[in-house]
C-alpha cells in the first residue's frame, strides 16, 4: 500500500506493469475489495493481458501455472501484510479476484486492532 496516491480517499496498491507493446510504468489499484478503479499513464485496451511486477525489485507477480478460470489469463498474486494473498486476473476488464488468508482468525483480529 502507498500513501502517496489515493483512490476513493483510500491508500492504493502500487505495482509496476507492462502492456503488450512493452511500455512499462506504475499502476495504482484501489485498495477497496471489489472496487476496480485504478490510475496509470500506461495505455492498454480492455481484454489485453497485462504483466505485473513488484515496484521495488521488478520480479514478476504472475503465479506459476495458475490461470483465471473465467478467461484463462495468468493470475497475479500479491502478499498482504496482515497475512494472506490477494489474487487478481491479469486480463484488463476481467473481474476475477480473491483473497486467501493464511490464518483467518488472527487476520480478523489484526484487522479489528488496526481499523477498529
89 in helix, strand or coil? strand
DSSP letters for 67-92: E-TTT-PEEEEEEETTTEEEEEESBT
Distance, in Å, from the CA atom of 53 to the CA atom of 44, rounded to the nearest integer, reads 16
Copy the grid coordinates of residue 26: 506504475
75 pLDDT higher than 80: yes
Q: What is the DSSP letter of 108?
A: H
Q: Which residue has the higher pLDDT, 107 or 17?
A: 17
Neighbours of 23 (CB within 10 A): 12
Q: What is the DSSP letter of 114?
A: H
Give the closest residue to 27 by CA, choosing from 61, 62, 63, 52. 52
Distance, in Å, from the CA atom of 74 to the CA atom of 49, rounded to the nearest integer, reads 8
**Residue spans of alpha helices (H) in the chain:** 104-115
Q: Which tens digit of pLDDT belongs to each residue from 53-73?
A: 999 999 999 998 999 999 999
pLDDT band at 116 (very low <50, low <70, confident <90, very high): low
Amino acid at each position: 500500500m502507498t500513501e502517496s496516491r489515493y483512490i476513493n480517499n483510500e491508500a492504493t496498491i502500487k505495482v509496476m506493469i507492462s502492456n503488450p507493446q512493452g511500455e512499462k510504468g506504475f499502476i495504482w489499484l484501489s485498495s477497496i475489495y471489489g472496487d476496480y478503479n485504478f490510475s496509470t499513464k500506461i495505455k492498454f485496451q480492455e481484454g489485453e493481458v497485462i504483466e505485473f511486477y513488484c515496484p521495488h525489485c521488478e520480479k514478476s507477480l504472475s503465479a506459476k501455472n495458475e490461470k483465471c478460470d473465467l478467461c484463462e489469463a495468468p493470475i497475479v498474486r500479491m502478499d498482504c501484510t496482515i497475512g494472506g494473498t490477494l489474487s487478481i486476473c491479469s486480463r484488463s476488464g476481467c473481474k476475477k479476484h480473491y483473497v486467501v488468508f493464511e490464518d483467518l482468525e488472527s487476520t480478523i483480529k489484526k484487522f479489528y486492532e488496526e481499523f477498529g
